[in-house]
Structure 1
């Protein structure tokens, strides 16, 4: 490093001393507080992914594609996301910053690429928060239609803002316990789903695989139905990659991030695939209310209703509601950090980089929450319809983000090889080089073909726009920034592989779980 860079780095280290055992830190580009423990980060990974997409999106997937299409699509997308997470984990362990893959896109590929991707993903998380608030309205209708849905969204909108501007520790604790509740609910669902299938239902009959043999199933809608489930599955898995955004506020990130990547994804995949299989077996795709303009019933609630227990449906619906709130909490957290990253990188007004007393980017959080206010549009178009549109936008945005992670990973490894620094990696993606290429190619294919349903049996312009609007927007943002700033593709020899880098092995012993309940929770994640 040159002398000026050394002085700048030293100044940053003096202002913000590194925690003991956190590795060799060359320089730090953000001023966020590292307050999240490994326990909280692993639960945030679960909470940020398992939410609306699984609890409500699975109902739409079943109605549109049938049980076989749903199972296959969720499995395929799950495999793609696994490889994506290995690629992201490798970069995040080496460069643990709040911007995560959005920062990597600009740092390892092209500043214009990072600009377009970060704005796209910020909008993704802000819209995800909106979709979760809309989902609350859909779940409320299980109990009553007289209470205004917008009022419920307004109440929880205020709650999410309060939690996210308070402190990162408050956010982490709330997310930890809500995520733990999700895990317990899904485990209970798996048990109940099996019992219902073998005869523990109102009719006392063995269901087995009869719902797979219904007319039109198990592939409802043929190739069109199958293709359309991919965007729903991508929406459901969305948030897995955003766990890396917590790297900038994670204690001991070099050790924590690889463990989260390696362990958490398998838990998520297990919960998803088993839950999707049981939903397809127990709930017929013709069940009313799975997917409509005004309402959407969670398949989880339907399965618990099938037991005949009077309060079972209400209990699980309440749990699903809290799970959706958790997902919204995570999305708003990520949106605030991304807007903060845009500001410190000069891609957004500097006001968004302002931090509060607890080193929380409160201005960025409030701006993101304002966009999430889109949820109140449900009063005009119907909560079910609006949720479907938002789900399509977020699903495609997730796929574009995964493509970007694959591209950044390819460039990152090439830069390390050119500068002879590959040996410094604290965690390696064993699927490289074929893995990142597979992520780029497969996701690109899915983005293009999953809009089949908007053309058949007749052209649906609104559906078409919600499925493809992200593509021209991101392209225009990329070309505009590139033309204005005259940015160039980063040279492999000049790629910044020093700022924020963590390379030293860490021997810090993790916080002991202590209480037996905490040990169980740690094992689960």
Structure 2
């Protein structure tokens, strides 16, 4: 359920309004499909590493192990910043959704939500898990109902009793709006919407029987992307015109989901789904706050030298890293600046920052996979020894991810430069790239200083000479490919045997097949 919750949030429920208004129905469908395919290939690559080495830290740990410790340091802080800003963007999204009923005191819902989320995460991990389970279940049910209602609305089951079909693809400038700039900018909102999918790998260290379950989960992502995202944006583009009043402005935005439910019946139906979407805001904020807190905690307990102040390693008796929680949640005070800037505008800027951060994470997964696969070949290990091998992605998969994500990062900022340069939009789209570079080379400098003083070299990894030494890149020949490899246990074999027995024998086998497919 955490994996599902990470892939459905305000990016889909609310971000599609901005995508549709800026790019039109064809742009949103194409961009979400392209990014969805990139994400699917990325997760297959991550699945290979996570199945072979189900360790805590996921792609951050793989970037450290197979590419560069200093780059991993920068990547970890980038991901923490991503989670912290995500909390702020979710709280602002709550203000935007509240405007469906009233425009008075929008900051109240952000304050109440912030206190609630911090309280839940400060209690214990069980409270977080219980809340996330039920909110994630509600999201999935909402998506399924939306798809059914959307089809009914399109064929005439709406308040106007009118067959819509593809009419909205021919309204005004549709299907492509805003020329190339409008199309390019949809990629950032799509990346924001798909953010969190990489959390499938983060759970590998706590997954039961990962050598069997991780490949199943990763392969199932294809259908989640196809049903939850591509089918949803297709229905949105068919039913809602890109020039719908108030769809997306600097001060407000309306969820296409709410609009379509209103088209199906009454404002009561719209109010109901708007309430449901607010719960997804809580779920998204809950997920981001939990993940960001754990990332900052892990930085503080890194051996032999901590990557964050030791205070963030302190936990309560219940095991909650309270200082890390408060530091992560403090970033969300950004949401209270929305009353001066405009909810829609500030949310758009934060959406840009989070979207680029997601793209950096995917690029890093491709980079780590490329190095992992090269090391596997250089050290003479046969491909057959991989516990999960996405064969159809060999050998082009990592190159495809790195090149396509890099291209998207460069292209999506087109509208911030042409036809008129927007400094704020440009900074929100490209801020994290120089930040990553500064932190990467800054940590290299710190490690060199430690080595010069003959202190224990940070990260316990040597600094090579030449270009590898300058960039702090690990030598492929010395990468340890044996430690932390998962070894199947007797319990794993027994569980797999029980699964196969349930699915092939007895009168309940059909129901067991459905259960395992859903689970």
The partner residue of 2:53 within 90, 95, 110 is: 95
- Alignment correspondent of 1:203: 160
Question: How many Å apart are 1:247 and its aligned residue?
Answer: 2.7
Question: Does the CA-based 8 Å contact 2:42-2:366 persist in structure 1?
Answer: yes
- Alignment correspondent of 1:269: 226
Question: Does the CA-based 8 Å contact 1:175-1:326 persist in structure 2?
Answer: yes
The partner residue of 2:475 within 471, 491, 503 is: 491
- Provide the secondary structure at the position in 1 that maps to 2:200: helix
- Alignment correspondent of 1:128: 86
The partner residue of 1:139 within 97, 101, 111 is: 97
Question: Does the CA-based 8 Å contact 1:402-1:439 persist in structure 2?
Answer: yes
Question: Does the CA-based 8 Å contact 1:64-1:225 persist in structure 2?
Answer: yes
- Provide the secondary structure at the position in 2 that maps to 1:509: helix
- Alignment correspondent of 1:414: 374
Question: How many Å apart are 1:521 and its aligned residue?
Answer: 7.2
Q: Does 1:397 align with 2:357?
A: yes
Q: Does 1:428 align with 2:389?
A: yes
Q: Does 1:258 align with 2:242?
A: no
Alpha carbons of structure 1 residues 212 and 378: separation in structure 2 relative to 1, 3 Å? same
Question: Does the CA-based 8 Å contact 1:190-1:278 persist in structure 2?
Answer: yes
Q: Does 1:324 align with 2:281?
A: yes
Distance in 2, Cα, partners of 1:390 & 1:465: 11
Question: Does the CA-based 8 Å contact 2:185-2:413 persist in structure 1?
Answer: yes
- Alignment correspondent of 1:309: 266
Question: How many Å apart are 1:239 and its aligned residue?
Answer: 0.6
The partner residue of 2:413 within 447, 451, 466 is: 451
> When the two structures are aligned, how many residues end up with a matched partner?
481
The partner residue of 1:56 within 14, 32, 35 is: 14
Distance in 1, Cα, partners of 2:269 & 2:224: 25
- Alignment correspondent of 2:455: none
Unaligned runs of 5+ in 1: 1-42
Question: How many Å apart are 1:498 and its aligned residue?
Answer: 4.1
- Alignment correspondent of 2:73: 115
Distance in 1, Cα, partners of 2:358 & 2:388: 24
Question: How many Å apart are 1:351 and its aligned residue?
Answer: 2.7
Distance in 2, Cα, partners of 1:328 & 1:453: 29
The partner residue of 2:404 within 442, 446, 450 is: 442
* Of 230-239 and 430-439, the range deviating more from structure 2: 430-439
Alpha carbons of structure 1 residues 244 and 311: separation in structure 2 relative to 1, 3 Å? same
Distance in 2, Cα, partners of 1:183 & 1:401: 25
Question: Does the CA-based 8 Å contact 2:248-2:344 persist in structure 1?
Answer: yes
Unaligned runs of 5+ in 2: 449-462, 464-471, 503-507
Question: Does the CA-based 8 Å contact 1:425-1:503 persist in structure 2?
Answer: no
Distance in 1, Cα, partners of 2:515 & 2:156: 31
Question: How many Å apart are 1:324 and its aligned residue?
Answer: 1.7
Q: Does 1:242 align with 2:199?
A: yes
Distance in 2, Cα, partners of 1:257 & 1:351: 34
- Alignment correspondent of 1:179: 136
Question: How many Å apart are 1:187 and its aligned residue?
Answer: 0.8
- Provide the secondary structure at the position in 2 that maps to 1:311: helix
- Alignment correspondent of 2:327: 367
Q: Does 1:193 align with 2:150?
A: yes
Structure 1 segments (4+ residues) deviating >6 Å: 510-514, 516-521
Question: How many Å apart are 1:420 and its aligned residue?
Answer: 4.2
- Provide the secondary structure at the position in 2 that maps to 1:473: helix
Distance in 2, Cα, partners of 1:255 & 1:341: 27
Question: How many Å apart are 1:114 and its aligned residue?
Answer: 0.2
Alpha carbons of structure 1 residues 169 and 265: separation in structure 2 relative to 1, 3 Å? farther
Distance in 2, Cα, partners of 1:519 & 1:467: 44
Distance in 2, Cα, partners of 1:332 & 1:432: 36
Question: How many Å apart are 1:424 and its aligned residue?
Answer: 4.1
Question: How many Å apart are 1:264 and its aligned residue?
Answer: 3.4
Alpha carbons of structure 1 residues 367 and 298: separation in structure 2 relative to 1, 3 Å? same
1:34-56, Cα deviation, whole Å (9 max, x unpaired): xxxxxxxxx11111111110000
The partner residue of 1:509 within 495, 499, 512 is: 495
- Provide the secondary structure at the position in 2 that maps to 1:306: helix
Question: How many Å apart are 1:520 and its aligned residue?
Answer: 6.7
Question: How many Å apart are 1:326 and its aligned residue?
Answer: 0.9
Give the root-mean-square deviation of aligned CA atoms: 2.2
Taking structure 2 as the reference length, the TM-score comes to 0.88
Distance in 2, Cα, partners of 1:474 & 1:162: 32
1:166-221, Cα deviation, whole Å (9 max, x unpaired): 33333222212111111111111111111111111111111110100012110001
Distance in 2, Cα, partners of 1:270 & 1:304: 18
- Provide the secondary structure at the position in 2 that maps to 1:333: helix
- Alignment correspondent of 1:156: 113
Question: Does the CA-based 8 Å contact 1:132-1:327 persist in structure 2?
Answer: yes
Question: Does the CA-based 8 Å contact 1:219-1:226 persist in structure 2?
Answer: yes
